[in-house]
Chains A and B, each alone.
Chain A
């Protein structure tokens, strides 16, 4: 694994250009957190609640659909506000690509990105192999347990809601879970949490399966096989066919729902192979 990636990209596009989407993502992740925090801290209420359920400007309800599904599985029939909120959130993530949540909103992503960055710097090679399908099993488990137990068992430890809630309402010993994830990613499984285990990632994978916004290797013929995109990508397998599968008839569009639309591949590519596209116009381009 390469300790430093994107050297060519930095040389051609400058440091800012080679980190554009990464910086935007951090602004988005921390900005959303900040919008939740300025309420309790300074009394400026843009967003109330937390990622599990919130209210935007005292009017728009938003509810984590995965959370609500667990609640329904546990036997509760929610009030209309929560249902409406879950619909709004689901439609939004469907439009922007489901795992947009993972890379642009989820606070845990900052931790796992840090772990991966450190992994590269420290040249940690050992990685236990775990199936990337595991997360779907965890997703299934987190929806079956409430049916059996009548309570949202996954939410006792769910690091995503725990982290976000903790920042706003007090973390307590919650950092133990977060350190656990960090170490798991750093020492045990590369991209372990977000790429293999997290059921919320799996859930948004399903939500965004047919999303209109995708990243495309639209200039794949220019690829010089530096493999920098594979190094930074949390789901490197999604790049393989769009980049190298032309002779097998694969479209340059990254169609796998595992892709988080983080656009980091666009950042690190010195050849400008990638860009963000929508599904429909790319067909028009192919036809030309």
Chain B
């Protein structure tokens, strides 16, 4: 066997060295730019993807989660999945699609216990305080209850029945003399577990759980609700309206 040319110790000239090195540096720079672009794009979570209970806010979560899947393996219901590359959820991070398998709201929150980094925050003490998303009665044209029927399924499956979802009575204007029982979600209680969406009997659920950033509106920061401010102040914040004398018919 003869010693091969490509493997005999080779002298690199200065020029060669500089070309090779600059190729490396430029390549790395380009790769970095591409990654920065891709990461900006992939930072928005798709509407059907929910984070595990107790997960930090999306931005912090992406900084914290090391994509280990310990939460996924800890979940007894196979709820959680890890996002794959090119999927609409950041590569390797855990999520669930409520329509496929909702969160069963384990009392001992095994996914949280398993998380080594705190991406699923240990600060969540009770699963009932989780805020994985927010259920929204997204289609009032197909929801059976909005047509005056008594489906009520989303209401009955809710682990926080009558707290997270209530049935609010409205007049049925179609029949004119019946009531409708509108499923109404309360954002301070809804955990976003997704059982309602999962259970909705329609072909496509009329109630859907969305990430809170998508589902919730946010008041302009300078806005105040007058009645709340009034309660806080213990009285009206503006001078009393001028009280004109009441003139009732028949009086002078």
Q: Residues of A with Cβ closer than 8 Å to B? A: 1-2, 7-8, 39-40, 48-50, 52-55, 61, 63-64, 67-68, 71, 74-79, 81-82, 85, 125, 127-131, 133-134, 137-138, 141, 144-146, 148-157, 161-162, 165-166, 168-174, 176-177, 196, 225-228, 230-231, 236-237, 240, 244
Contact = CB atoms under 8 A, between A and B. Distances in A.
Contacts of B85: 156-157, 162, 172-174, 176-177
Contact of B91 (A50, A137, A156, A228): A156
B39 A55 contact: no
Contacts of B16: 129
Contacts of A74: 62-64
B43 A162 contact: no
21 contacts: A1-B6, A1-B7, A49-B70, A49-B73, A53-B70, A71-B63, A76-B64, A78-B116, A82-B116, A131-B17, A131-B24, A153-B38, A153-B39, A155-B92, A156-B38, A165-B92, A166-B84, A170-B84, A172-B87, A227-B1, A227-B7
Interface residues of B, number: 57
B87 A79 contact: no
Given A131-B23, A137-B28, A161-B67, A173 B38 contact: no
Contacts of B74: 48
A123 to B, nearest CB: 11
Contact of B116 (A75, A85, A161, A166): A85
B192 to A, nearest CB: 23
A5 to B, nearest CB: 9
A261 to B, nearest CB: 21
A179 to B, nearest CB: 13
Interface of B: 1, 3-4, 6-9, 16-17, 19-21, 23-25, 27-29, 31-32, 35-36, 38-40, 42-43, 59-60, 62-70, 72-74, 81-82, 84-87, 90-92, 114-119, 122
Contacts of A78: 64, 116-118
A7 B2 CA distance: 13
Contacts of B72: 169
A227 B74 CA distance: 51
Given A131-B21, A153-B38, A174-B85, A141 B66 contact: no
A127 B72 CA distance: 42
Contact of A236 (B7, B23, B24, B67): B7
Given A1-B6, A134-B28, A231-B4, A79 B91 contact: no
A52 B24 contact: no
A166 B83 CA distance: 10
B6 to A, nearest CB: 6
A149 B36 CA distance: 7
Contact of B63 (A76, A141, A228, A236): A76
A150 B59 contact: yes
A52 B32 contact: no
Given A48-B73, A61-B116, A237-B9, 18 more contacts: A48-B74, A49-B69, A50-B68, A53-B116, A63-B117, A71-B63, A71-B117, A127-B6, A134-B24, A149-B36, A150-B62, A152-B62, A153-B32, A155-B67, A157-B35, A162-B92, A168-B69, A240-B9
B66 A173 contact: no
Given A153-B39, A172-B84, A226 B1 contact: yes
A138 B1 contact: no
A180 B107 CA distance: 44
A251 B81 CA distance: 51
Contacts of B4: 1-2, 227, 230-231
B66 A146 contact: no
Contacts of A141: 28-29, 31-32, 35
A265 to B, nearest CB: 13
